[in-house]
Amino acid sequence: MENILRNFFLFMGKNRAATKMAKKYGLRFGAGRFVAGASLQSSIEVIKKLNDEELAVTIDHLGEFVDNEQEAREMTDHCIDAVKGIAESNLNSQLSLKLTSMGLDISRETVLSNMKRIMDAAREHNVFITIDMEDETRCQATIDIFKELKSEYDNIGTVLQAYLYRTVEDIQDLDSYNPNLRLVKGAYKESPSVAFPEKSDVDENFKKIIKMHLLNGNYTAVATHDDNMIAFTKEVVKEHNIPKNQFEFQMLYGIRVERQRELRDEGYKMRVYVPYGNDWYGYFMRRLAERPANVAFVLKGVFGK
């Protein structure tokens, strides 16, 4: 049943009609548990509270299915506003973004032009930018653009997904760039031709890439809610005397809140991924797909008092 629900939510997350309807009716039906409101200001207030609890943050202005240059420019403007908002409010926050929101599906020229606008603002205001990874069909293009930008900007990182067969080779290929990488299991529905279909294989590959990247001496963000992966990371850093300033743990806003505080109290850097914006639907569906038990919170939000 859990696998059926997961496939259902991943399918619905790619539904353009549902995405448009969700934009129209706003943050309802439990999405507020995972999304910090519709506006930048609402996310800033959330970040302030998290920072007060000694939790670092990365924010993401949500966007799906950007297919015209005007909308890509608007999304770019939102990101620049977020960079300025982080700096003006003196927040302990980075910015995460998706290249499809900046025009990746339109043209390479469009996405690079928009990304350089963002990176110029981020460099001016000393804000770090992470390029989120999307589905496998966009993986190589994302890595290629990351490499090009990394040659010009220091304050940029990207994400690699453990469920893809190619990821070990990507870790090796990127090592010469001394990359700051967020390592995740992966949240998209992929073909068995490109991704491990079994959870146990994904878990083993996740452990492999965590250890590889740490031992390469590069900054490693281990983004997981899985206690086994957290324990494995702790073992690796202890065994190899890896300093705590070379890695961090990351978790999603609204998920395993107490565990986030526990890791902070243990002296680990803990960063919370805080999304905001009206275009929340695809992100929300992927969160439900990752853990269908979250449906209970949605139902409570819809029908509860």
List, by residue number, the catalytic residues.
132, 182
Largest CA distance in the chain: 54
C-alpha–C-alpha distance, residues 140 and 57, integer Å: 27
**Three-state secondary structure call for residue 223:** strand
State CA 272 to chain mean position distance: 10
Distance separating alpha carbons of residues 224 and 228, to the nearest angstrom: 9
CA distance 4 to 16: 21
Euclidean distance between CA atoms 126 and 155, whole angstroms: 8
Tokens of 132: 């989120």
Residue 248 and residue 269: Cα distance in Å, rounded?
5
As a whole number of angstroms, the distance between CA 208 and CA 196 comes to 14
**Which residues, at least 6 apart from 183, have a Cβ–Cβ distance to it below 8 Å?**
159, 160, 162, 206, 209, 210, 213, 220, 221, 222, 223
Residue 252: exposed, middle, or buried by beta-carbon count in 10 A (0-12, 13-18, 19+)? middle
Is the Cβ–Cβ distance between 26 and 279 less than 8 Å? no
